[in-house]
Structure 1
């Protein structure tokens, strides 16, 4: 490695490998897993418990958005329905039929919904948990998979209780949780998360996400964190740190490509990786137009939609695909040239082959730009101190 750039040498050492070739292979594998690891989330519960709305909330969608899970006052789910995350097709959320409904009897529910498909189960109710819910939890436990009890529509409960005097929101929440846990006493004292699918910034939506995150394998953790909505400033910071940690893989993969003696390959492939990585950041940080619209409506601040005007946000919004796909197709000549034009003086270097240092610089600039924009929006939304 004596003839290599000192920065590349240092990066190879930091990877724990002895050669650039081995370090690059490790980096490519890490990056591919980071971008493509599958995650299958099952959402089940009583008819009318709000499963479909919860599925939409996890996907960062309103119930009336295109592609949203169908909601209604009757049993709208008659068979397992799979919904891809809008920006991460490797994350799939399954809206399962209500257990005990005429179409799915409790005693054969797990077999009918193909139990082995899912990484974990969310058992949802908008009232009390039933014997069917308890039976389902016991069966899931026998099969060594995780389950989580979620009490939905908490915003409706709070609105109803506000008409009573004296009103104490925390007392109402404590009473609901204690009632749920009492109803589940045969399972010990399981945690119950109180959430509103229409407002993931309130109640225990983020606490639920944190619990899911902590009990998943590391690779699955990254998929959940990339896909979940930005619930607070703390959630955003966790996302930013994750992408910062992964940036080494992008840079090392770039360094490896740069040594391949094929004219034009370095410029195309390096930027394909960088654009893919930064586009994933853009969606994960909630900078896409749908996420910003949803946030602005929640906090009643329409101008939030106009705050995402930084150079990298504009580059991604105007030049990158609206749906992320792991494909070299995103590295069109127009996209490559546009991204290079953001950093004066780097165009000629890229034409000859982007070096590790150039790619790392572009990556760092892009990540910092997107993170700064997302932080400013969260602060303006008044969420910078939520859940800290």
Structure 2
């Protein structure tokens, strides 16, 4: 009995280790002038609309009076912090960093909907002194474009160039400051993807994975990056499965292989935007029913029901895992062979599921008219 308890404990630890590969912590701070759209930007990163349950409250008045943490809806390790506007009566610029607990965050987004203020520039200088990264984001670009096109007859690119030039001049005290122009209404436009690429380039490798998994699918390129990341992670998840199989307890390999596969492929499912909420929002945006395309995926349906082990395509995988369980009872070479079989069976299932989910996401984007190839 003690041996079985030990085996179960080891299996749980191996599963936890596998989960940690997809659970690196990331803390993002969003700050700036009151009314600049910080809360909407927080919702955009979390792939939520302002009216969704759990969304950061938005409004024309100051809605953020203290630092507020918002957990990513599908990645609890990723936290976005909506910070009060700098320079408000309750948060004087010279004490701002201390009051919002500066060391908590991996990087800062300094957001404004008009010109960047002296407080923004001072904050950036203080962040730079502490050797952390900051990024200037100019929000509400879609509103500016509509206004300028109507009043002055300018085209969209002229307006973008004008705003970008104005922002750079505004920030000349900081030297070569980059500014990203975004709309919190549409992540597929302007510099939203460019911002994601820049953040990823600046983060350590393990943090980069967390950012990419959390970032909404704003383009075909972003989707392909997510797919590539999961392709690389199949190896690590399969190794966790092999570690469990060394434990000589019948049934451990089959159960844990299925659990690891369900965890891994569920992350793919949400990261690719295949969940109900993401697809319904996309359907409304393009006015095309898209849920029917997901219904053709065996793996997507199994993930919805949390019944990945019942898939017919996994029959050979279950057979290999069962053999692995039996081999693990043999001393020495049996355990080694069992680990190899478990690794192979899990990797086979993960690769097949990943490929199908990735193709489903590609088909849906093409049906929505977002990608032409």
TM-score relative to the length of structure 1: 0.85
Match of 1:291 in 2: 278
Shift of 1:367: 0.3
Give the conservation status (yes or no) of the 8 Å contact 2:257–2:321: no
CA distance in 1, matches of 2:176, 2:16: 41
Conserved in 2, the CA contact under 8 Å of 1:30 and 1:249? no
Q: Among residues 55, 77, 85, which one is paired with 1:90 in the alignment?
A: 77
1:223 pairs with 198, 210, 214, which one? 210
Deviation at 1:32, TM superposition (A): 4.5
RMSD, aligned α-carbons: 1.9
Match of 1:338 among 310, 316, 320: 310
Aligned length: 344
Q: Please list the CA deviations of residues 108-127 of structure 1 after superposition, one character each: whole Å capped at 9, or x if unmatched.
A: 00000000000000000011
The aligned residue for residue 196 of structure 1 is: 183
Q: Is the 8 A contact 2:50 2:56 kept in 1?
A: yes
Residue aligning to 1:68:
55
Q: Do the aligned residues in 1 keep the contact of 2:40 with 2:50 (CA within 8 Å)?
A: yes
Q: Equivalent residue of 2:21, what SS?
A: helix
CA distance in 1 between partners of 2:229 and 2:316 (Å): 29
Q: Deviations over 1:162-183 (max 9, x none)?
A: 2135321101001001111111
Q: Is the 8 A contact 2:109 2:136 kept in 1?
A: yes
Distance 1:336 1:229 in 2: 25
Structure 1 unmatched runs, 5+: 1-26, 320-334
Matched, 1:233 2:220: yes
The answer on 1:304 being equivalent to 2:290 is yes
> Does the aligned pair in 2 maintain the 1:34–1:222 contact within 8 Å?
no
Question: For structure 2, which runs of at least 5 residues remain unmatched after alignment?
Answer: 1-13, 326-340
Deviation of 1:29 after TM superposition, in Å, equals 9.3
1:318, 1:75 → 2: CA distance?
Answer: 42
Q: 1:297 deviation in Å? A: 2.4
From the superposition, tell whether residues 163 and 61 of structure 1 become closer, same or farther in structure 2 (CA, over 3 Å): same
Normalised by the length of structure 2, the TM-score is 0.88
SS at match of 2:154: coil
Q: Where do 1:209-220 residues align within 5 Å?
A: 209-220=196-207
1: CA distance between counterparts of 2:56 and 2:314? 41
Q: Is the 8 A contact 2:17 2:240 kept in 1?
A: no
Alpha carbons 2:257, 2:342 under 8 Å: kept: no
Is 2:153 the partner of 1:153? no
Q: Which residue of 2 aligns with 1:23?
A: none
In the alignment, the residues of structure 2 paired with residue 240 and residue 289 of structure 1 have an alpha-carbon distance, to the nearest angstrom, of 20
Taking the aligned partners of 1:171 and 1:71, their CA distance within structure 2 comes to: 30
Indicate the larger mover: 142-151 or 290-299: 290-299
- Distance in 2, matches of 1:161 and 1:336, equals 52
Which residues in structure 2 correspond to 1:107-186 (within 5 Å)?
Answer: 107-186=94-173
1:330-383 CA distance string (max 9 Å, x none): xxxxx35424x3434444444443622221111111000100001111112222
Per the alignment, residue 251 of structure 1 pairs with 238
- Counterpart in the other structure of 2:64: 77
Is 1:381–2:368 an aligned residue pair? Answer: yes
Name the CA distance, whole Å, in 2 between partners of 1:362 and 1:280. 15
* Distance in 2 (alpha carbons) for counterparts of 1:220 and 1:190: 23
**1:75 & 1:93 partners in 2: Cα distance?**
18
Rounded Cα–Cα distance in structure 2 between residues aligned with 1:273 and 1:173: 46
Q: Secondary structure at the match of 1:121?
A: strand
Structure 2: distance between partners of 1:189 and 1:108: 26
CA distance in 1, matches of 2:112, 2:366: 33
* Contact kept? 1:83, 1:93, Cα under 8 Å: yes
Which range moved further: 33-42 or 190-199? 33-42
Confirm or deny: 8 A CA contact 2:19 2:263 kept in the other structure: no
3-state SS of the aligned residue for 1:94? strand
